[in-house]
Structure formats: structure tokens, C-alpha cells
Amino acid sequence: MEQGAREGDSRSQTDFRTRVSARHSLDHVFTALVYAATAVGLIILAVLLASVLRDGVPRIDWQFITGYPSQVLPETAGIYPALLGSLWLLGLTAVISVPLGIGAAVYLEEYATDTWFNRVVEINISNLAGVPSIIYGLLGLGIFVNLLGFITGPHSGGQSILTGALTLSLLILPVIIITTREALRAISDSVREGGYALGATRWEVIWGHLLPMALPGALTGTILALSRAIGETAPLVVVGALTYINYAPTGPLSSYTALPRQIYFWIEQAQDEYKVLAAAAIVVLMAVLLLANSVAIIIRNRYQGRT
């Protein structure tokens, strides 16, 4: 007992094996591993980009952007209808899905009480985010083409841009809802209480404080979701995007094709000229995507700066 203190001292020196250099080695190993993991992704992306750019860029000219696809003369074919179709889809999908998604998120986060019904809704939304896009295509086929075809496309048998946009909206709604909810949840309750304490109603607090504060986060989710939507092929095939079209869409009720659908069609053709066309269309699709994203990011940053 009387030696207790001294034994304690010696123990503190002998029972620890600090082994700093071995731990540092392990540190280096893991650093190398995570670098490698990042590099694999980047290299594959770079190779992909380089190959597409090499094949596609020489083929891109004004005639390619403004021309119409051709069944017989791949040298003069263009992507004008598909490009316009994709832009229409992007715009309409945004207009439909953003208000719906943000509205649903506000309800679930700010109004819904903890009942079994709301819990079921919540679980379902999380699950819906993981449902394969082709399933949404089938849903769109059932509802917007077959059931509501007389509204969504009186002259195209329901296979219109509107149908495509509605289907893509369904596809990306869960992502928008989830990211907006997360942005709302990140806002401290003290903000809500501060608003209520001034005699504000719930809606005034939401509109005046919560939505402006959640907007940057909600926009990030929306950008990601829309990027996914514009690249989707499978659901559009199901709800009737055409493979060959020689006129540009004139409005939401027109028949249409979209860039990914056009690309898919060209890749299936045997001649090499069509493969080049596909590569060129891919470059255009990516350019549209990057452009749309940067516009959204600029809007977001401007808003963040203001608040």
C-alpha cells in the first residue's frame, strides 16, 4: 500500500507502448489508400471525358446544333429537336417539382405532428428516393399516358413533353423533399421561437425566416436532382420519347425526343458515323448540364450572400 504511488508512477511508464512511429506508418498507409481511391474515380472520369471529347468535339458545329436527325445522311444530322426537347423537359420539370418538393418538405418538417400516418409518409419518401427510374417510367405510362392522356397529349396519345416532365418530377421529388427537409431541420428552433415571440404566425415565420435560410440547401438538392433528371433515358423510353423526329417541339403538349434518348438511338446503329454523332451529342448534353448547374449555383451564392 505504501508503495502505491510509486507503483502507479512506474505503471504509467511501462503499461503504455506509445509506438509513435508505427502509428505514423499506419497513418501514411491510410493516406495513400484514400488518395488512391480518389484517383481511381478521377482517372476513369478523365479517360471517359477524353475519349468522348476526342470523338465528339470535331463533329460539333453550328449545323449539328441546329440540324435535324437524318436516317440516311449521318454526315448532315443534327440534334436540334432533341436539344430543345431536353431544355423543355428541364424547365418544366423544375417548374413542377420545386414548388411541390419544397411545399411537401415544409409540411413534413414544420406542420406534421408525430402520427403513424406521417411516419409512414416519411418512410415511403425515403424509400422512393431509391426506386429504379424505370419503375417511375411505368408509373408515368400508367397514369400520365394511359389514364390522363387526353390532358397530357390530345394529339400525341399522351406521349408529350408534359408527360415526360411529370414523370421526371415524380422521379426527383423525393430527393428535393429530403434535402429541403434537412435544410429546414438544420435551422435552430431559437429562430422559430424568436419569430413566434414577436407575434408572428407559423406561416410568417416560415416565409420570413425558415425558407430564406433553407433555400441554399434546398437549391443544392434541386440542382443535383435536376441534373439526374436531364440525364435519364429509361423512364422517357417508357413514357414515349420518340427515337426519330424531324421537327422541333412547339410546346408542352408536343411529341418530343430528348438528348439521352437520341444518344441511345445513335449508339445502337451499326455505322461508325452514328457513334461519332452520339459522342458529339454527349458533349452537348454535358455542356447543357454544366451550364444549368452553374446558373443554379450562381443564384444560390447570391442568395447566401444576401441573407
In the complex, what is the shortest distance from the CB of residue 202 to other proteins, in angstroms, rounded to a whole number?
Answer: 9
Tell me: does residue 213 bind other proteins (CB under 8 A).
yes
Q: Which stretch binds other proteins (CB under 8 A): 94-102, 193-201, 264-272, 278-286?
A: 193-201
Tell me: does residue 99 bind other proteins (CB under 8 A).
no
Tell me: does residue 112 bind other proteins (CB under 8 A).
no
Q: Which of 48, 198, 291, 295 binds other proteins (CB under 8 A)?
A: 198
Tell me: does residue 199 bind other proteins (CB under 8 A).
yes
Tell me: does residue 21 bind other proteins (CB under 8 A).
no
Q: Which of 78, 195, 217, 235 binds other proteins (CB under 8 A)?
A: 195
Q: Which stretch binds other proteins (CB under 8 A): 73-81, 92-100, 126-134, 203-211?
A: 203-211
Q: Which stretch binds other proteins (CB under 8 A): 89-97, 155-163, 200-208, 228-236?
A: 200-208
Tell me: does residue 146 bind other proteins (CB under 8 A).
no
Q: Which of 113, 117, 251, 270 binds other proteins (CB under 8 A)?
A: 113
In the complex, what is the shortest distance from the CB of residue 203 to other proteins, in angstroms, rounded to a whole number?
Answer: 10
> 3-class secondary structure for the chain?
CCCHHHHHHHHHHHCCCCCHHHHHHHHHHHHHHHHHHHHHHHHHHHHHHHHHHHHHHHHCCHHHHHCCCCCCCHHHCCCHHHHHHHHHHHHHHHHHHHHHHHHHHHHHHHHCCCCHHHHHHHHHHHHHCCCCHHHHHHHHHHHHHHHCHHHHCCCCCCCCHHHHHHHHHHHHHHHHHHHHHHHHHCCCHHHHHHHHCCCCCHHHHHHHHHHHHHHHHHHHHHHHHHHHHHHCCHHHHHCCCCCCCCCCCCCCCCCCCCHHHHHHHHHHCCCHHHHHHHHHHHHHHHHHHHHHHHHHHHHHHHHHHHC
Tell me: does residue 275 bind other proteins (CB under 8 A).
no
In the complex, what is the shortest distance from the CB of residue 212 to other proteins, in angstroms, rounded to a whole number?
Answer: 7
- Whichever of 157 and 216 has its CB closer to other proteins, that residue is 216
List contacts with other proteins (CB under 8 A): 113-114, 188, 190-201, 204, 208-209, 212-213, 307
